[in-house]
Amino acid sequence: MKFAIISAGEGSRLAQEGVQLPKPLVQLNGMAMIDRLIHIFAKNGAEQVVVIINNEVAQTKEHLALLKKVSEVPLEVIVKTTPSSMHSFYELSTYLKDDKFCLTTVDTIFREEEFSRFIEAFKASDKDGLMAVTDYIDDEKPLYISTDEELNITGFHDARTPDCRYISGGIYCLTPKSIDTLQRCMENGMSRMRNFQRQLVADGLHLAAYPFSKILDVDHASDIEKAEAFLNGKDN
C-alpha cells in the first residue's frame, strides 16, 4: 500500500503569525510534521511514500532532498506549485494507480494507534474508500459528512444537515478507481478536494466513514501548542 502527502500550500497564515519555519518543517514535540507523517506511514507498512511540495520554499526542498537519501521507506518527491489541493492530488496520482493508497495533508494531526486501526480496516475492506471522520470540530470551514446507520457515506456538505454526525478529518483511503473520478474532475475544470469527494459519491463509489476521536489541523501558530498537547495526551 502506498501513502501520499499533499504539502504544497504556502502556510501563509503561520508565517503572518510569526512562525518562521515553512509549514512542513514546523516541529511538533521536536519532529518536523512531514518527518512525523513519513515515519508513521513506514510503521504502517508503506511500500512507498509520495510527497508534493511547492516550488517556492528552498528550505523545504532542501529538507526533502536530504530526507529522500535517508528515509526508512522509498520516498518520491514532486516539486510543483499547484492552484489547489485537488491539483496537488492529481500530480501525486501518477504514482497511485496500481494499489490501494492513503492520502492526507502535511498538517493533519491524529493519534497513531487510531491511524493504524484505520489502515488495517481499509486493507481488509472491499469498499472503494474509507474516509477518516471526527465529531470534534475545530475547523474554520468544516466539510460535513452525511452517513446512513452503517456509516456508509451519502454526501459531503458545506453546512450541517440532520444526518451529519461527523466532519471530514482530511485522511482519505482510496482505491485506484478514485483516480478515474479525479481525472474527470480535472477535465471539467473543478478544484478543491471537497468537490472531488462529492464527485466520488456522484460516480457511485462505495465510501464509508471511519470515526477518529479527534483530528486537528495546524493552520495557526496557536495550533502548534494545541497539537503537541493532543499528541502528549494532555488535551482534556
Condensed to tens digits (0 to 9), the pLDDT of residues 11-34 reads 888 999 999 999 999 999 999 999
Residue type, 48: Q
Partners of 172 in the β-ladder: 103, 131
The distance of Cα 233 from the centroid of its chain, to the nearest Å, equals: 22
Q: Which of 160, 60, 48, 44 is nearest to 110 (CA)?
A: 44
The pTM is what?
Answer: 0.96
- Per cent of the chain over pLDDT 90 is 91
**Where do the structural domains in the chain lie, given as residue ranges?**
2-231
pLDDT in tens, 132-177: 999 998 877 899 999 999 999 999 999 998 889 999 999 999 999 9
Sequence-ordered list of residues with C-beta below 8 angstroms from that of 179, at least 6 positions apart, any chain: 93, 96, 97
SS3 190: coil
H or E element, residue 230: helix 221-231
Distance (Å, rounded) from C-alpha 102 to C-alpha 50?
Answer: 10
Nearest to 67 by CA among 24, 29, 30, 107: 24
From the candidate CATH numbers 2.140.10.30, 3.40.50.1820, 3.40.50.20, 3.90.550.10, the one assigned to the domain spanning 2-231: 3.90.550.10
Contacts with 229 (C-beta within 8 Å, 6 or more apart), sequence order = 235
> CB of 82 within 8 A of CB of 181?
no
Under DSSP, is residue 6 helix (H, G, I), strand (E, B) or coil? strand
